[in-house]
């Protein structure tokens, strides 16, 4: 099977390259090759690689910047995603569109299932939701995979940020009233390959098992780092109101992943176990998180 990944430098794209299973050839298209904000050659660039499946792991992911840069976010997350899906459709190939927990408003008192009403609270979530709809319309075999709180041993993410700040400060203030499911990029990549083997059109949720808050996540990172002799700081839980950001985040963005298990036989690992593996990897790399 040949999988074409849109995006190369992102944490999910890199995990897909690292985790490619036996018998799966992965090719990537980087932003300079295919700029989703300035589409010209999507059809030709995708067609020439003759993929069996296309995974779109590229997106405008700067949640706060998107608030004042809506046109750019929309160009990538909506129109760009649509063009990729359409290019795959013309080859008869399914597209797997990576989407987000931020399509939800966050006011549900339980983890979200795929059929729950959406209601994004910011530009990023709105443009990703528009992308979901355009992708599904452009490619009848499309699978929309919503994930959440993605981290990796590389790239820009919460785990690395917390470790970097722990090396600079004795105490970290972290919001404790937003709930979610931390997801290790490696586990997400493994799940995406399972989906790619037998895609079933529709939406499916895919996030680390269990749930926590950002403060709980930070405490777990600090504990794991301390056990391994890495940087660690005290976590001071704070309310969202004490940490104002341009984009409003959902208070609850937990994802129920029962459908993933039912349709694809994929059980995501408990988030703490996955986090331990990631911290091990960062420790093995000498705690380079700058």
282 near ligand NAP, rule: CB under 6 A: no
Taking CB under 6 A as the criterion, which residues in 53-92 touch ligand NAP?
57-61, 76
CB of 182 to ligand NAP, least distance (A): 9
Stretch that binds ligand NAP, among 8-16, 46-54, 85-93, 192-200 (CB under 6 A): 8-16
Q: Which residue of this chain has its Cβ atom nearest to ligand NAP in the complex?
A: 10
When binding is defined by CB under 6 A, the residue of 128, 160, 249, 254 that contacts ligand NAP is 128
Q: What does the alpha-carbon distance between residue 265 and residue 260 come to, in Å, rounded to a whole number? A: 7
100 near ligand NAP, rule: CB under 6 A: yes
Which is nearest to 190 in space by CA: 267, 136, 272?
Answer: 267
10 near ligand NAP, rule: CB under 6 A: yes
Q: Give yes or no: 264 in active site.
A: no
* Given 60, 102, 112, 124, the catalytic residue: 124
31 near ligand NAP, rule: CB under 6 A: yes
148 near ligand NAP, rule: CB under 6 A: yes
* Token pair belonging to 1: 């099977």
**Separation in Å, CA 49 to CA 2, 46, 99:** 9, 6, 24
From residue 153 to residue 192, what is the string marking binding to ligand NAP with x (rule CB under 6 A)? --x-------------------------------------
Q: In the complex with ligand NAP, which residue's Cβ is closer, 30 or 240?
A: 30
36 near ligand NAP, rule: CB under 6 A: yes
Which is nearest to 178 in space by CA: 252, 100, 254?
Answer: 252
Active-site amino acid positions: 124
């Amino acid at each position: 099977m040949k999988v074409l990944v849109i995006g190369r430098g992102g944490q999910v794209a890199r995990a897909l390259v690292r985790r490619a299973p036996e018998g799966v050839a992965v090719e990537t298209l980087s932003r300079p090759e295919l700029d989703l904000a300035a589409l010209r050659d999507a059809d030709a660039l995708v067609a020439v690689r003759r993929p069996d499946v296309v995974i779109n792991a590229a997106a405008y992911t700067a949640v706060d910047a998107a608030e004042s840069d809506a046109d750019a976010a929309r160009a990538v997350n909506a129109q760009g995603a649509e063009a990729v899906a359409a290019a795959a459709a013309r080859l008869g190939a399914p597209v797997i569109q990576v989407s987000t927990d931020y399509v939800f408003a966050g006011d549900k008192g339980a983890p979200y299932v795929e059929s729950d009403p959406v209601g994004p609270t910011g530009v990023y979530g709105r443009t990703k939701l528009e992308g979901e709809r355009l992708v599904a319309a452009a490619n009848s075999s499309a699978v929309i995979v919503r994930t959440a709180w993605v981290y990796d041993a590389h790239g820009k993410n919460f785990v690395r940020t917390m470790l970097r700040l722990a090396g600079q400060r004795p105490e970290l203030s972290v919001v404790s009233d937003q709930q979610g499911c931390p997801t290790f990029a490696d586990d997400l990549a493994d799940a995406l390959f399972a989906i790619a083997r037998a895609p079933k059109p529709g939406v499916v949720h895919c996030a680390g098992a269990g749930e926590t808050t950002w403060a709980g996540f930070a405490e777990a990172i600090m504990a794991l780092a301390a056990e391994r002799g890495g940087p660690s700081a005290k976590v001071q839980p704070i309310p969202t109101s004490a940490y104002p950001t341009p984009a409003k985040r959902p208070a609850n963005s937990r994802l129920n992943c029962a459908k993933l298990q039912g349709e694809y036989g994929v059980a995501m690992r408990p988030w703490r176990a996955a986090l331990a593996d990631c911290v091990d990897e960062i420790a093995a790399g000498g705690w380079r998180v700058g």
